[in-house]
Structure 1
Amino acid sequence: MDWDKLRIFHAVADAGSLTHAGDTLHLSQSAVSRQIRALEESLSTTLFHRHARGLILTEQGELLFDATRAMAKRLDAAAARIKDSEEEVYGELRVTTATGFGTLWLAPRLSKLYDKYPDLTIDLKLEERVLDLPMREADVAIRMKEPSQADLIRKRLMNIRMRLFATQAYIDERGIPKSLDDLDTHRLISQNPESAQVSAGASLIHELSEHEVQSRLYVNNYFGVLQAVLNDLGIGVLPDYLVDSAPRLVRVLDDVESNEVPVFLAYPEELRHSKRIEVFRDFITTEINDYRRRHRDDANS
């Protein structure tokens, strides 16, 4: 199969348009169209349904696009390894983590990494969905549970716990509960028990749900829970690392917390020797160690 024709097919399938693909490839629309027709003839099949608003892949086209998409990701991985120099760190590193952790813990610390490696580009993908690292949806992940995918290098960074927090303004207005039974006069803010989250956090929410609560607010990530708590809407179920970034938080019911939640760093085996992965791993490890040491010192003071 002609590699050049596959490259052009992939661009057309991705863009859904001969014109847009031509712009990307710096080819005329007629040249792109000729290559697609030649590929279809060589395969004895139709790859696109053509209509006035653009192109839609046929079933056979979808199968080929799946293959070229996987090829493109593997080629990106190879290019990343080739570009990684023994002396310099540059190019793009795609990092995925949960919205709350990425926004409130990781992003504020990235200036230290950029200070050391100004030519590095970070593409931070914040979402609750677990991206597929072996399929190169991202290069490295920080996750609140041990990754289950094969062919990943994983490193346990730290443990966190889910706890209850509110603002002093909310406590001054509504009072502070002395026991779980006192939650019946408060609003509880948490992730939805059915949403994607770590099992330890879900277990705590289910435990709290067994008690009568006056009102509830569900949000699909911890960043949203935090914003609601900071606006004095109620008592939130939040990870303990947020205390650093939100000093207005006051812990409620000190004896109520989840089991430990492990935080893992993971990346594909094929990127083991990537210089960008190496410097990011070292950066995260240093920041985690500083965070843990600071909290250990606070606990002992």
Structure 2
Amino acid sequence: MDWDKLRVFHAVAEAGSFTHAGETLNLSQSAVSRQVSALEEALQVPLFHRHARGLMLTEQGEILFKTAREVLAKLNMAEARIIESRERPKGPLKITTTIAFGSIWLAPRLKEFLEANPDIEVSLMLTDDELDLSMREADVAIRMTTPTQSDLIQRRMMTLKYHVFAAPAYIERYGAPLGMEDLDSHRLVVFGEDVRLPVPTLNWLLEAGLKNGSKRKAFLKVNSTYAIFRAVQSGIGIGALPHYLNQEAGNLVEILPDVQGPELDMYFVYPEELRHSNRIGLFRDFLLRKVEDLAR
């Protein structure tokens, strides 16, 4: 059944005449009559008894009117909930990002977002693997690599800059390198060879300042930025880390401050089908305000 014809039928049944229904729908009396007649023809049953005093529903018309009224009531309720959700966003929001960024930077800031939006149910999924947003493994992602899927909307948030750090305990015991050549005699914490890196140069400490393609030997190899951070924090060795980690932890010493490693762009990513989601828009705007301080 055509919904437009059902809508006209419902208005006629409520008004009791084609003329009054036409005034409600802003249609002519003849247009209303044609729509109802077409619906009756499609169903092959009469829906109204037509007489001089107006219209009266037939038995079949009563059945259809009851159903149409219930459908309209549910649609009106859905419309009200949609309008309400625009005014006060609600519902689930699944966020995924890397273990380091999610643990150190994002998780502590979620308190403010959650308190301001108590009807949004946040789930934070931390993994250094990329979840499939198109399969709705998560609603949004904060990624350190440029998204390659064409059906994803991306918003560049900021650039992560890598610097060289060591813990005070390490420097007290082994001293601090004064130049890149001094790294030859220090303990370096880097990624292992089997780790999928966002850019291949993240292990640049092994090659920085060396010629002929030679490499330094790593003291410890791990599989995540968070593991490098914790290892450096504990005094195991020297590591290259994005600047936000030390801004948050505040207990590492930047060494070789004139040396800067690779840069990674951070993106806020979500599926095209969620373009008009108010929950996602609200969270995106919240993040952009927060990364302004981080980018300085």
TM-score past 0.5 threshold: yes
Give the corresponding residue for 2:254.
251
Q: What is the Cα deviation at residue 135 of structure 1? A: 1.5
Q: Distance in 1 between matches of 2:203 and 2:99?
A: 20
Maintained 8 Å contact 1:183/1:214? no
Q: Following the alignment from structure 2 to structure 1, what is the Cα–Cα distance between the partners of residues 116 and 240?
A: 36
- Residue 277 (structure 1) shift: 0.5
CA displacement 1:165-205 (0-9 Å, x = unmatched): 00112111101111222122211012224312220653625
Segments of structure 1 that go 5 or more residues without pairing to the other structure are: 1-80, 296-301
Match of 1:151 in 2: 151
Partner of 1:171: 171
Given that 1:162 and 1:201 are in contact with CA atoms closer than 8 Å, whether structure 2 keeps it comes out as no
Question: Does structure 2 retain, via aligned residues, the 8 Å contact 1:185–1:214?
Answer: no
Structure 1 residues 101 and 289 mapped into 2: Cα distance closer, same or farther (>3 Å)? same
Aligned residue in 2 for 1:97? 97
Hey, what's the Cα distance between the residues in 1 that align with 2:141 and 2:268?
A: 6
Matched, 1:281 2:284: yes
Quick check: 125-134 or 199-208, which moved more? Answer: 199-208
Which one of the candidate residues 227, 233, 256 is aligned to 1:224? 227
Contact 1:98/1:128 (<8 A) preserved: yes
Counterparts in 2 of 1:263 and 1:200: CA distance versus 1, 3 Å = farther
* Match in the other structure for 2:17: none
Task: Calculate percent identity across the aligned residue pairs.
Answer: 41
Task: Pick closer, same or farther for the CA change 1:257–1:83 going to 2, 3 Å.
Answer: farther
Scaled by the length of structure 2, what TM-score is found?
0.67
Structure 2 stretches lacking a partner, 5+ long: 1-80
Counterpart secondary structure, 2:169: helix
Matches within 5 A, 1:198-237: 198-199=198-199, 201-202=201-202, 204-205=204-205, 207-208=207-208, 213=216, 215-237=218-240
Question: Residues 202 and 83 of structure 1: is their aligned pair in 2 closer, same or farther, counting only changes over 3 Å?
Answer: farther
Contact 2:190 2:218 in 1 (8 A): no
CA distance in 1, matches of 2:267, 2:120: 22
SS at match of 1:190: strand
Give the corresponding residue for 1:118: 118
The match for 2:24 is none
Kindly state the Cα deviation for residue 103 of structure 1 after the two structures are TM-superposed.
0.6
Whole-Å separation in 1 of the counterparts to 2:84 and 2:168: 49
Structure 1 equivalent of residue 195 of structure 2: 195
Q: Which structure has the bigger radius of gyration? A: 2
TM normalised by structure 1 equals: 0.66
C-alpha distance after superposition, 1:271-298 (max 9, x if no partner)? 0111110111011111012333xx3xxx
Q: Is the 1:180–1:211 contact (alpha carbons within 8 Å) kept by the matching residues of 2?
A: no
Secondary structure class of the residue paired with 2:184: helix
From the superposition, tell whether residues 234 and 140 of structure 1 become closer, same or farther in structure 2 (CA, over 3 Å): same
* Secondary structure, counterpart of 2:219 in structure 1: strand
1:132-155 per-position Cα deviation (integer Å, ceiling 9, x unaligned): 111111110111121001111110
| Residue 16 of structure 1: aligned partner | none
Q: Decide whether the 8 Å contact of 2:207 with 2:216 is kept in 1.
A: no
CA RMSD of aligned residues (A): 2.2
Aligned to 1:11: none
Shift of 1:257: 2.0
Contact 1:186 1:215 survives alignment (8 Å): no
Aligned 8 A contact 2:163 2:240 in 1: yes
Deviations 1:29-63 (A, max 9, x none): xxxxxxxxxxxxxxxxxxxxxxxxxxxxxxxxxxx
